[in-house]
Structure 1
Amino acid sequence: MDKLLSILLEERISSKVVINVTSGLYKGSYPSRIEDVKDNLVAVSHPLFKNALVPLYRDTILELVMYEKQPPTMIPMKVLRRGMSGNVSLLWLVPAGDPVKIQRRRYARVQCNVDILFFPLSLEEMFPMVGRWEKASCVDISLGGMRLRTKMKEMGLDVGHRVYLWVNLSSENIFLISNIARIVDEGVFREMGLQFEGYPRFVEKRLIRFIRDKELRNAGDGLHD
């Protein structure tokens, strides 16, 4: 492992991270944490799916994403082995590439004030029949994601969790699946940065139309972001 990369990871021990499994049956994003760094290896808490360990086998390639570092950083990793530390199941990884800084602002982002509903998919998978639709407000939106604000701070949501969104854009309803990229608590409110997983072409057209209309309106009002 590169010395600078080793120092970077050692500084992040106990930090929350996201493990992106990019292919296979268990493709998705899973919350985790850096537990240890030794020699050329990194130990993370083993990702869970429905209260069971995600089946990740030797030589599986995945992404370790650190959002606590600004800008967020992604490191390609390869699974080496499983292990235990006390009662914590570990997944030992070895770097498979160089760190890559994630550019959040790849898309035009506009301010808005749109009421939405969201459903915690990850919590429902872990605790069936517990999830429920909750209200929130969209603060800004782009083709890549949105920032929402809610008063629901005790739901158990975490970085890496998936949520299902119902959004009303100019009287047009769209549904989106998103991953929570960051969470910031401010007083009684919680702000969450979401990254869209992907959507069909007709949803993209509606988003583009909404964003362009907001850009023109904001520019006319002198509020262009």
Structure 2
Amino acid sequence: MSDFVEKVSSKNVLYTNMPLDLEIQEKGIQGVYKSILYEHDLSSNLAKIGMPIFKGAYLQIFRGTNLKVRAYSSRAVYLFKSKVYSSGKEGNIRYLIINIPETIVRVQRRQHARIPVSEEGTFCFKEDLENSESEENIQPTKYRFMTKDFSAGGLAIVTSKEMKVGQKIIINLALKNEIRLENMESEVVRSIGKTTSGEYIYGIKFLNLTREKEEELVRFVFKLERESFKKI
């Protein structure tokens, strides 16, 4: 991985609605759970975060529970240890109050990490889609592809359809039943070669990613990395 690690001030890098992963080692609730940063009180170094949901119900996390927290931005992951101070409820929303250290660790990506992933998706050419929108009852031709690897910035695909570098395509893809790319505008940025069966391999770059979507993809890639490390 092309990473570098440094210590940074939590006050300068954490923000409202930042996605979180909470790693818990307590017996009975051991695991990694999704959460979100609701509020960060800079004066007290306390934060309100979403109570994790597990199998459709709020997880029972008690005061004093130790946490390892990962906070995700579009280009970095922030790591720190924390502890649950209390819990509460506002309407139907439950939350935890945790402490956030003044100094936390930033794992900064010099470039997006690529993870081997094999999933089937479809694409059409952006030009064909735009032409179909101006004509009734005409749908753009969809082509199948298989992913070869994936990153938060793009992916490598294998397809029987020949393309040119610079062509814009619209991708639809589901990854591990967790991430859905729906009508994702993308660009062919390089031709990698051919498979032994004669199919084409292309490097694809995502275009016009929102910050929220890029953070979701970064989070997904880090999860796959953690799972692959456990198998080593």
TM-score, normalised relative to structure 1:
0.50
Q: Which protein shows a greater Rg?
A: 2
TM-score, length-scaled by structure 2:
0.48
